[in-house]
Amino acid sequence: MRDLAPQQVAGIHCVGDIAYEERAWHYLYRLWLPSSGFVPADLPAMELFVKLPEEIGWETFDLETCIPVARC
C-alpha cells in the first residue's frame, strides 16, 4: 500500500486477458493522449488492481491502467 499525492490521471478499466491491458495502454498513449489537451505528468504510470490475481487467477485481469496527466 502507498499513499499518493492528489493528481489528475487518465485511466481505463480493463477486465480480461493480457491483450486487453495492452490495448488499454496503446489507446491511452497513442490515441487519447495526443488529442486530449494533456501531456504525461512527470510521474510513473500505474496499474491499480480492482481484484488481485490471487482472487481471480493470473489468466484474467481486473485493473485500471492510469497515466498521470497535466494540461498542455
Contact between 19 and 35 (Cβ < 8 Å): no
User: Alpha-carbon distance 61 to 18, whole Å?
Assistant: 7
Task: Give 40's contacts (C-beta < 8 A, 6+ positions apart).
Answer: 33, 67, 68, 69, 70
pLDDT tens for the chain, residues 1 to 72: 778 889 999 999 999 988 999 999 999 999 999 999 999 999 999 999 999 888 888 888 899 999 999 998
- Which set of grid coordinates corresponds to residue 20? 486487453
Q: Is 40 left (phi over 0), alpha (psi -120 to 50) or beta?
A: beta
Cut 0.85: pTM above it: no
